[in-house]
Chains A and B, each alone.
Chain A
């Protein structure tokens, strides 16, 4: 029932599956992501002497790592298609909607794979204890979904523009800033065990941000995809 009602879903899953297959075999995106994140994390941890007392700073640094890692990794999925020349075949065979959904899901999987590795490592290396674990997990979940959500369409735009990573970061920063600010604020609260009300507001903002960005990306993607 479900699959037939939304034909986009099965087609999007086909795109996701294909990208996962390719990624699994070549590991282009994941290795770039991980190397970047690990390098940044090590540098930060080393410079700060392995212990972060200030939860604001700790929260900000974590999201900086995730943000810039996302910038290096998310664009790949579209740039690869452009560079390999497979865009033409994809355009002939697929409508824009399943392409967007599939790539979005792929980016989500990619970022989550990174997060699962980096976040525990970060907590370990900075000797941080998380006061509010559920809040922290919710923040990371919504934050990463948001990074993937905005990042996917921005990656598509950047790939069409110049297929260069630097354009992506310039485009992404103003748009992702509200997400980053809310995520950092909520993470800081989660580390320090602060007021649940302020965290609920942040999480609410993150939730609505995700909703609006995803809906807008979905509607606007066809204008990026079609000539």
Chain B
């Protein structure tokens, strides 16, 4: 099956200041791609461009599934994003958050599946608590749940283990391994443990 991500000639500049220029990568299926670099080198920006949330200054991003290049809207549906800049709704419960994101994607929601996913990320029994009562580590776990709900082909992770304790890091490893078996992972990180998972690494300097 022809599944891959192609990035060709990607450049980004803000107000004339160049962040990165002419990036070319190819991410094959069932692999993990890591992006590393010092603070401000554009790791997060790079991921957000891949998500289609920010326009690139020039270049092209393609997600090819089953031989077909997806449109921007289709691509978004195949992506799951976990990032410290991504926030969920504090005044909704964990289950309500999942329910909302499921409904707004037009996907069916069942409480059983929600509970299953919450258990997977280690939030069992906390489904009805408001997100505002969660610690940052727990919020991060819920972000993983939301990112996995729609079974995306590609997981995009920005600093995956931030806010996470040891058990959290184990969850991240579980998620990355699981996703690697089914699809792709793109992650931005400087942590050596996380970089271990990368089949390919891009250094932004």
In the complex they form, whether A and B have CB atoms below 8 Å apart is answered with yes
Chain B residues with Cβ below 8 Å from A88 are 53, 81, 83, 85-87
B91: Cβ under 8 A from any A Cβ: yes
Chain A interface size, as a band, is 20 to 34
Whether B79 lies near A92 (C-beta < 8 A) is: yes
B9: Cβ under 8 A from any A Cβ: no
Chain B binding surface, main DSSP class: loop
Chain A residues with Cβ below 8 Å from B76 are 92
Give min CB distance, B126 to chain A, whole Å.
18
A220: Cβ under 8 A from any B Cβ: no
- Of the stretches B22-30, B100-108, B176-184, B197-205, the one at the interface is B100-108
Whether A11 lies near B100 (C-beta < 8 A) is: no
B146: Cβ under 8 A from any A Cβ: yes
Complex CA gap A90/B101 in Å reads 8
Chain A residues with Cβ below 8 Å from B54 are 227
Chain B interface size, as a band, is 20 to 34
In the complex, residue of chain B having the shortest beta-carbon distance to the beta carbon of A26: B91
* A38-56 with Cβ < 8 A to chain B: none
Complex CA gap A17/B99 in Å reads 11
Whether A21 lies near B104 (C-beta < 8 A) is: no
Whether A11 lies near B106 (C-beta < 8 A) is: yes
Binding site for B on A (CB under 8 A): 7, 10-11, 13-15, 17-18, 21-22, 25-26, 84-86, 88-95, 98, 227
What are the nearest 7 A-B pairs in CB distance? A14-B103, A85-B87, A14-B104, A94-B104, A18-B100, A88-B86, A25-B91
